[in-house]
């Protein structure tokens, strides 16, 4: 399982994979997230209508695949 610190530290590389997974996210939003998991989860809640628990699970699942 990938550690979020690795993702955060390499955000520029991982942001493309985030965009592949969640295509509704804009480039500006990816810049705004800037490797912060809480920001990613919050924007996923806004864009996809996830509950906080759903957003957390979605991110956990994505991390386990990457």
How far the first Cα of the chain sits from its last, in Å, is 8
Please tell me the pTM assigned to this model: 0.91
CB atoms within 10 A of CB 16: 10
Local confidence band at 1 (pLDDT 50, 70, 90 cut-offs): very low
Return all residues near 48 (Cβ < 8 A) that are at least 6 apart: 22, 24, 55, 58
Tally of domains in the chain: 1
Give the CATH number for residue 43: 1.10.1470.10
Instruction: Answer yes or no: is pLDDT of 66 > 90.
Output: no
**pLDDT tens sequence across 5-50:** 999 999 999 999 999 999 999 999 999 999 999 999 999 999 999 9
Structural domain harbouring 52: 4-65
- Alpha-carbon radius of gyration of the chain: 11
């Amino acid at each position: 399982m990938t550690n979020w610190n690795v993702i955060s530290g390499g955000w520029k590389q991982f942001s493309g994979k985030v965009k592949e997974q969640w295509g509704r996210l804009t480039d500006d939003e990816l810049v705004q997230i800037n490797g912060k998991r809480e920001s990613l989860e919050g924007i996923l809640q806004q864009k996809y209508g996830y509950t906080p628990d759903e957003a957390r699970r979605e991110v956990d699942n994505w991390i386990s695949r990457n």
